[in-house]
């Protein structure tokens, strides 16, 4: 049995401005750094065998705060990066509506096999997250594993763990600096 603890990174300027972040490599805001420190304090009495982290700066900064408090180095896992949102990255919904009206009308971010130009579909993203979860299960079975990652990654893990449909998964939201855990059995 493996216990998987999911942590969403602290706040970024993209979060403040309600912009699609995706694979953009942005740092935490001062509030995000504070959220990371508070998160580290909440986790300091919990034992973890390993901390795995997205390669994106906002997740790495969050992991660094946890590392200082929990004395646990992080291992960077590329597949824990946020969903690639292609041409939508860095834009607000209003900007997308003006620049990419056809894509906006198609609601492509919510299509199972659709995506913004240059982006990752939900199905492609789910395959990536299933692959990384399988690898984690193989490598760390019986362990307490902390994942420092992103909102859509957390949403997809929740979908997989609870066997939800693509439509049902959108009821789940994880705020910046929040934690959730799951138990994976064989």
Please tell me which residue in 17, 47, 71, 82 is annotated as part of the active site: 82
What are the residue boundaries of the structural domains of the chain, listed by start?
A: 2-83+121-184
Model confidence at 186, pLDDT cuts 50, 70, 90, reads low
* CA distance readout (Å), 160 to 127, 147, 149, 164, 173: 10, 15, 16, 7, 14
Model confidence at 20, pLDDT cuts 50, 70, 90, reads very high
Catalytic residue list contains 150: no
Task: Report the pLDDT value the prediction gives residue 184, as an integer from 0 to 100.
Answer: 82
Reported as a single tens digit per residue, the pLDDT across 137-153 is 999 999 999 999 999 99
Reported as a single tens digit per residue, the pLDDT across 50-79 is 999 999 999 999 999 999 999 999 999 999
Reported as a single tens digit per residue, the pLDDT across 74-124 is 999 999 999 999 999 999 999 999 999 999 999 999 999 999 999 999 999
**Residue 71: exposure state from Cβ atoms within 10 A (0-12, 13-18, ≥19):** exposed
* CA distance readout (Å), 53 to 2, 11, 87, 116: 17, 16, 25, 25
Verdict on whether the full-model pTM lies above 0.85: yes
Q: Does residue 65 contact residue 33 with C-beta atoms inside 8 Å? A: yes
Q: Chain-wide mean pLDDT for the chain?
A: 96
From the candidate CATH numbers 3.10.129.10, 3.40.50.1240, 3.40.190.10, 3.10.310.30, the one assigned to the domain spanning 2-83+121-184: 3.40.50.1240
Task: Report the pLDDT value the prediction gives residue 140, as an integer from 0 to 100.
Answer: 95
User: Which residues fall in the annotated binding site for substrate?
Assistant: 8-15, 58, 93
User: Which residues fall in the annotated binding site?
Assistant: 8-15, 58, 93
* CA distance readout (Å), 81 to 15, 103, 107: 16, 23, 22
Please count the other Cβ atoms lying within 10 Å of the Cβ belonging to residue 15. 20
Please count the other Cβ atoms lying within 10 Å of the Cβ belonging to residue 47. 10
Q: List all residues 6 or more positions away from 185 whose beta carbon is below 8 Å from its beta carbon.
A: 1
Q: In what order do the strands lie in the sheet with 144-149?
A: 74-76, 50-53, 144-149, 2-8, 179-184
Catalytic residue list contains 82: yes
């Amino acid at each position: 049995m493996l216990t998987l603890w999911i942590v969403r990174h602290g706040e970024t300027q993209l979060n403040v401005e309600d912009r699609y972040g995706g694979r953009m490599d942005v740092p935490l805001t001062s509030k995000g750094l504070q959220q990371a420190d508070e998160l580290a304090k909440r986790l300091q009495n919990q034992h973890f065998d390993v901390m795995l982290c997205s390669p994106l700066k906002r997740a790495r900064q969050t992991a660094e705060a946890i590392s200082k408090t929990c004395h646990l180095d992080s291992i960077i896992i590329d597949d824990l990066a946020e969903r690639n949102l292609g041409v939508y990255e860095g834009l607000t919904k209003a900007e997308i509506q003006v620049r990419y009206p056809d894509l906006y009308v198609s609601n492509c971010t919510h299509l199972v096999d659709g995506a913004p130009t240059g982006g990752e579909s939900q199905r492609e993203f789910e395959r990536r997250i299933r692959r990384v979860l399988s690898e984690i299960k193989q490598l760390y079975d019986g362990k307490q594993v902390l994942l420092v990652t992103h909102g859509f990654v957390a949403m997809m893990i929740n979908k997989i763990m609870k066997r939800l449909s693509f439509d049902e998964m959108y009821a789940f939201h994880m705020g910046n600096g929040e934690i959730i855990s799951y138990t994976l059995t064989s």
